[in-house]
Amino acid sequence: MIAGRRALAVQAGAVSLSPMERRTAKTFCRNCSAHCAMEVDVVDGRLEGARPDGALSPYGAYLCPKGLASVEFHNGAEGRLLASLKRGEMIPTTQAMAEIGDRLAAIVAEHGPRAVAVYHGTGAYRSVLGNIMERAWVAELGTPNFFSTMTIDQSGKWVSAARIGIMASGKHAIRDADLAVLSGGNPVVTHQGAPYAVAESGAPGRSFERLKERGGKVVLIDPRRSETARYADLHIQPKPGQDAAIFAAVSHAMLRDGTWDRDFVARHCNGLEDLRAAVAPFTPELAAARADVPVEQIETLARWLGEAKRPVVGSGTGPSMSDHSNLAETMIDIVGLLAGGYRRAGDLVRNPGTLKSKVVREMALAPSRSFEKAPFCLSEPVGPLMHEMPSALIPREILIDHPDRIRALIVFGGDPLMALGDPAVAKPAFEALDLLVSLDCRMTETGKLADYVIAASQPFERHELTFAADALFPEPFAQYSPPLVPKPGDVVDDWEFFWTVAARMGLDLTFKYWGYGLDYASIPGGLKLSHETPPDPEDLCRFLCSDGAVTFEELAANPGGVRPRRDPEYVLPAPEGWEQKLELCPPDVAAELALVAEEGPDRARLRLTCRRVLHALNGAFRESRGNRRRHPVNHAYMNPDDMTELGLEDGAAIEIASAHGAIRAFVKGEDRLRRGVVSMTHMFGTLEGTSDARAEGGSNVGRLTSLTEQVQPINFMPRFSALPVEVRKA
């Protein structure tokens, strides 16, 4: 413990009770892992207004529209489940959990633990205790079938790490960088920032402004002149699906000009000459022609990367969802390595972690190639990435004729039938399950098919810690929030569901401080829970603080959060004799580069690209009145010149067809888009849709995507962006 050198920034009198039962409580928003600090008014046990709390937050006073609306969402703006359901009929939640426990026990007794799978959706990430209890249960059960949205999101980044390795010192913090290069992400809308994309999650615009005030530059690569583009000194607006070629060409130019960081690369990387040979065909001219951008832009990007002292290179979902997504993400990482965009021994560690502190060293961690190792999927000879199996294989792992196939699926805070796309493949598989459970605060398309829907509590009703943001905050900070209002109706906390089901199955769980990259079962220690007495959630939070720079008691006494003031910490050198290296050009990467080099020009006239909306979070919040007014449907945005060419007027009903399916939608002109792009948000509409997108609240773009064709090797990532489509008047 570092209690000796800890001085606390204390926030006094945060909760004030008045005789009218009106109080202001300090808490934090859990709609995404930025965890922005906020104040909410609690009036007679009900939440009223919310406002940002800048007193201690490392982002300053900030709430995005989703944060500002979180009280409205909490109060049921989009219809909330207050009771659990068994095939559409109300059932007491306790009884439903007992029945589920018994069914699972019987399935495991007959078929073994592999028959049980979980899908961990976006909602699950905001449930700290639920998240860990779920992993404790999966580990105790012994099933390898852990799926999450990550493998239908940006697991190209995990593939890259598994193939080239990980630089343990991490990228430069935005607060230290002098050049930020971001491909295919729009943090100003999505608040998705470091470690993968480039920006801070909270107040992302401010992080770009500060960088520019310091004289730094921002480069954005996006077919759309997005909201983030307003900060870009250089905006490259390519055809979608060309990131692998663009970043291979940037590598080519840096190697050609001798501007790569020789010292860093020599110390930490193998395979430079193999990389040079593999990217030789990717001249800036070739990439510029493929992507249909001026060649000077690629040259400028390469030059700036060569000149920058502290560049940081990253990406959002664009490259992860398009053609050659694994290669694209790998080449983006390679450019970051060539530019030396990682912290060195002696660099300041701005946030060493508060709930869990870590020592940061300048050292390479060799590629794990975990996907080549057991346990393998049944339907494909592929193993896990970061201890997870590819979500796109869920339908095949259910339908395969094998004694170990998946028979029960627990969906935690997600809507996989919408998220996976290709309902023609996914829906029959979900229907073939012996048991499908959805644990959610509202009804989803997957929930409609489930045997049981368990009504979950919402964040302001639970005990929670800033666990997900602990390493992401730009400065050390932690906050704890007890429940602010009681749970309504017959809802349970997510952790209670997993604990209760485990207890019914006779499993004693061990509650541990888990983090990405760790195999839960191998984490030493933990809090042993009995299956007889439910744990006290406050004790669970106390346990999560037991190793940190602040104690639970300090957090509980300071509801506005705690910023541990500590001596500055610096990156340490690698341990003596450390020999692990990163691999810049493993054979599979070289082979994929050769394949892309041989491709002809892109002949697709239109490609559908992914995008997100400011006021919703994938499928969540979409049904609120405000969002229904803002987004009665998910419009198909197109460049007005493309619309003129197709004879389409603003608002016209159109049919969008891909090689896999067709949907009806409404078109809207957007001159921010380059030509040749149809830009549309996912998770709108109903699963299978009909001809009336207006009546169904939009169109399910997942009906245009495929779970079996054009999927990537290794993670089976479907093509959700840069998908060739045709558009005609409906």
Ligand X SMILES: Nc1nc2c(c(=O)[nH]1)N[C@H]1C(S)=C(S)[C@@H](COP(=O)(O)OP(=O)(O)OC[C@H]3O[C@@H](n4cnc5c(=O)[nH]c(N)nc54)[C@H](O)[C@@H]3O)O[C@H]1N2
By CB under 6 A, name the binding residues for ligand X: 32, 66, 121-123, 126-127, 149, 152-153, 183-187, 189-192, 221-224, 226, 240-241, 243, 316-319, 321-322, 412-416, 419, 421, 439-442, 444, 456, 458-459, 494, 609-614, 616-620, 679, 682-683, 701-702, 705, 720-722
**What minimum distance in Å lies between the beta carbon of 552 and ligand SF4?**
22
**What minimum distance in Å lies between the beta carbon of 317 and Mo ion?**
7
- Cβ proximity to ligand SF4: between 585 and 620 the closer is 620
**What minimum distance in Å lies between the beta carbon of 572 and ligand SF4?**
32
- Cβ proximity to ligand SF4: between 63 and 389 the closer is 63
- Cβ proximity to ligand SF4: between 299 and 623 the closer is 623
**What minimum distance in Å lies between the beta carbon of 201 and ligand SF4?**
6
- Cβ proximity to Mo ion: between 197 and 545 the closer is 197
**What minimum distance in Å lies between the beta carbon of 127 and Mo ion?**
16
Q: Vertex 325, ends 216 and 313: CA angle to 5°? A: 15
**What minimum distance in Å lies between the beta carbon of 95 and ligand SF4?**
35
- Cβ proximity to ligand X: between 316 and 341 the closer is 316
Q: Residue 695: what are its φ and ψ, rounded to 5°?
A: -65, -25
> Using CB distances below 5 to 8 A depending on partner kind, what does residue 514 bind out of ligand SF4, Mo ion, ligand X, none?
none
> Using CB distances below 5 to 8 A depending on partner kind, what does residue 355 bind out of ligand SF4, ligand X, Mo ion, none?
none
- Cβ proximity to ligand X: between 291 and 550 the closer is 291
> Using CB distances below 5 to 8 A depending on partner kind, what does residue 658 bind out of ligand X, ligand SF4, Mo ion, none?
none
Please report the sign of the dihedral spanned by the C-alpha atoms of residue 173, residue 178, residue 179, residue 180: positive
* 662, containing H or E segment: strand 662-669
Hey, which residues does 606 pair with through a beta bridge? 725
**What minimum distance in Å lies between the beta carbon of 692 and ligand X?**
20
Q: How many CB atoms lie within 10 A of CB 297?
A: 21
**What minimum distance in Å lies between the beta carbon of 680 and ligand SF4?**
22
Using CB under 5 A as the criterion, what x/- string covers residues 308-327 for binding Mo ion?
A: --------------------
> Using CB distances below 5 to 8 A depending on partner kind, what does residue 564 bind out of Mo ion, ligand SF4, ligand X, none?
none
Q: DSSP secondary structure string, 171-184?
A: BPPTTT-SEEEEES
CA–CA separation, 254 and 258 (whole Å): 6
**What minimum distance in Å lies between the beta carbon of 622 and ligand X?**
8
Give the dihedral of Cα atoms 239, 244, 246, 248; nearest 10 deg: -160
Question: b or e along 610-632 (b: 16 or more beta carbons within 10 Å of the residue's beta carbon)?
Answer: bbbbbbbbbbbbbbbebbeeebe
Q: DSSP secondary structure string, 391-436?
A: GGGHHHHHHSSSTT---EEEEES--HHHHH--HHHHHHHHHT-SEE
**What minimum distance in Å lies between the beta carbon of 424 and Mo ion?**
23
CA–CA separation, 423 and 702 (whole Å): 7
- Cβ proximity to Mo ion: between 185 and 367 the closer is 185
CA–CA separation, 574 and 363 (whole Å): 5
Rg, Å, the chain Cα set: 25
> Using CB distances below 5 to 8 A depending on partner kind, what does residue 127 bind out of ligand X, Mo ion, ligand SF4, none?
ligand X
**What minimum distance in Å lies between the beta carbon of 191 and ligand SF4?**
4
> Using CB distances below 5 to 8 A depending on partner kind, what does residue 67 bind out of ligand SF4, Mo ion, ligand X, none?
ligand SF4
Instruction: For residue 69, give both structure tokens.
Output: 């609306």
Q: At 205, is the secondary structure helix, strand, or coil?
A: helix
Q: Say if residues 224 and 674 touch (Cβ distance below 8 Å).
A: yes
Hey, which residues does 572 pair with through a beta bridge? 361
- Cβ proximity to ligand SF4: between 200 and 642 the closer is 200
CA–CA separation, 100 and 62 (whole Å): 41
SS (H, E, C) 64-105: CHHHHCHHHHHCCCCCCCCCEEECCEEECHHHHHHHHHHHHH
- Cβ proximity to Mo ion: between 153 and 493 the closer is 153
Q: At 252, is the secondary structure helix, strand, or coil?
A: helix
CA–CA separation, 394 and 376 (whole Å): 13
- Cβ proximity to ligand X: between 59 and 412 the closer is 412
Strand 408-412 to 606-611 pairing: unpaired
Using CB under 5 A as the criterion, what x/- string covers residues 136-165 for binding Mo ion?
A: -----------------x------------
Residues near 472 by beta carbon (within 8 Å), at least 6 away in sequence: 33, 34, 193, 194, 195, 201
> Using CB distances below 5 to 8 A depending on partner kind, what does residue 35 bind out of Mo ion, ligand SF4, ligand X, none?
ligand SF4
**What minimum distance in Å lies between the beta carbon of 349 and ligand SF4?**
23
- Cβ proximity to ligand SF4: between 66 and 563 the closer is 66
- Cβ proximity to Mo ion: between 153 and 323 the closer is 153
> Using CB distances below 5 to 8 A depending on partner kind, what does residue 36 bind out of ligand X, Mo ion, ligand SF4, none?
ligand SF4
**What minimum distance in Å lies between the beta carbon of 32 and ligand SF4?**
3
**What minimum distance in Å lies between the beta carbon of 148 and ligand X?**
8
CA–CA separation, 72 and 214 (whole Å): 38
> Using CB distances below 5 to 8 A depending on partner kind, what does residue 31 bind out of ligand X, Mo ion, ligand SF4, none?
ligand SF4
> Using CB distances below 5 to 8 A depending on partner kind, what does residue 29 bind out of Mo ion, ligand X, ligand SF4, none?
ligand SF4
* Residues that bind ligand SF4 in the complex, under the rule CB under 6 A: 29, 31-32, 34-36, 63-64, 66-67, 191, 202
Hey, which residues does 663 pair with through a beta bridge? 656
> Using CB distances below 5 to 8 A depending on partner kind, what does residue 135 bind out of Mo ion, ligand X, ligand SF4, none?
none
> Using CB distances below 5 to 8 A depending on partner kind, what does residue 703 bind out of ligand SF4, ligand X, Mo ion, none?
none
Q: Say if residues 302 and 164 touch (Cβ distance below 8 Å).
A: no
> Using CB distances below 5 to 8 A depending on partner kind, what does residue 173 bind out of Mo ion, ligand SF4, ligand X, none?
none
Q: Say if residues 102 and 131 touch (Cβ distance below 8 Å).
A: no
Strand 7-8 to 564-565 pairing: antiparallel
Residue nearest to Mo ion (CB): 153
Q: At 372, is the secondary structure helix, strand, or coil?
A: helix
Q: Say if residues 200 and 193 touch (Cβ distance below 8 Å).
A: yes
- Cβ proximity to Mo ion: between 153 and 200 the closer is 153
**What minimum distance in Å lies between the beta carbon of 226 and ligand X?**
4
- Residue 312: closest CA among 187, 419, 183: 183
- Cβ proximity to Mo ion: between 153 and 362 the closer is 153
Number of residues engaging Mo ion in binding (CB under 5 A): 1
Beta strands in 211-333 (DSSP E): 217-221, 234-236, 269-270, 311-315
- Cβ proximity to ligand SF4: between 58 and 144 the closer is 58
Residue nearest to ligand X (CB): 123
In the complex, which residues of this chain contact Mo ion (CB under 5 A)?
Answer: 153
